[in-house]
């Protein structure tokens, strides 16, 4: 589904409420319709386009972000239900000049091609490594099972996450992933 199709799903012309989110460390208030999805608010009102719109039904993981410390598929959540929450999008992870360790691992291992799936894979990788910094390949594949990639064939993603986990183990005390 294209972004323009996604935007047409909700009647954004008639905002129904004001919500406040802490987004990537900053407090942001936005007007949204009661039925507007979190992914739409993040992309359209907050202009954070790194969160992608794919299937809009929870299958692809392109819309993944962090809400109150948990990774969520933001196409499955109403924005209103996140009111007062803390949202971290892929833009919070690093910058082109200073990649987060997990981004660096994906870069070094050709863990993406078009990059559409990348937000979901990065958040899934971080989530896994934070609880298990020596995952087996099977555990990595299980952790990314909710994220679809049309380009890589997945092996380079598994290698990227293995590498990110090795970097995390090498840090003492462990830096953020």
Give 160's contacts (C-beta < 8 A, 6+ positions apart).
102, 105, 106, 108, 109, 110, 111, 121, 125
The stretch among 16-24, 56-64, 136-144, 168-176 that binds ligand FES (CB under 6 A) is 56-64
Q: 22 is written with which tokens?
A: 């802490």
Binding of ligand FES by 116 (CB under 6 A): yes
Read off the tokens for 164: 């990110």
Using CB under 6 A, pick the residue from 68, 69, 114, 175 that binds ligand FES.
114
Least distance CB 23 / ligand FES (angstroms): 18
9 counts as binding ligand FES under rule CB under 6 A:
no
Interacting residues of 98 by C-beta distance below 8 A, sequence separation 6+: none
* Binding status of residue 56 toward ligand FES by CB under 6 A: yes
Query: Of the ranges 24-32, 79-87, 108-116, 163-171, which one interacts with ligand FES (CB under 6 A)?
Result: 108-116
As a whole number of angstroms, the distance between CA 61 and CA 82 comes to: 18
Residues lying near ligand FES in the complex (CB under 6 A) are found at 53-56, 58-63, 73, 75, 112-117, 149-152
């Amino acid at each position: 589904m294209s972004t323009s199709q996604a935007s047409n799903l909700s009647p954004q012309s008639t905002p129904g409420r004001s919500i406040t989110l802490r987004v990537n460390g900053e407090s942001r208030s936005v007007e949204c319709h009661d039925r507007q999805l979190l992914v739409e608010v993040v992309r359209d009102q907050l202009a954070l386009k790194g969160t992608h719109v794919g299937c809009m039904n929870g299958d692809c993981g392109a819309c993944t972000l962090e809400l109150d410390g948990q990774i969520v598929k933001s196409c499955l959540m109403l924005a209103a239900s996140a009111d007062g929450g803390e949202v971290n999008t892929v833009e919070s992870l690093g910058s082109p000049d200073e990649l987060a360790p997990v981004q660096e691992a994906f870069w070094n291992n050709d863990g993406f091609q078009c990059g559409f799936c990348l937000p979901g894979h990065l958040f899934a990788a971080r989530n896994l490594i934070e609880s298990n910094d020596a995952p087996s390949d099977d555990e990595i594949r299980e952790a990314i099972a909710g994220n679809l990639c049309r380009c890589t064939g997945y092996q380079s993603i598994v290698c990227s996450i293995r590498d990110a986990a090795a970097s995390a183990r090498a840090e003492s005390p462990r830096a953020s992933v």
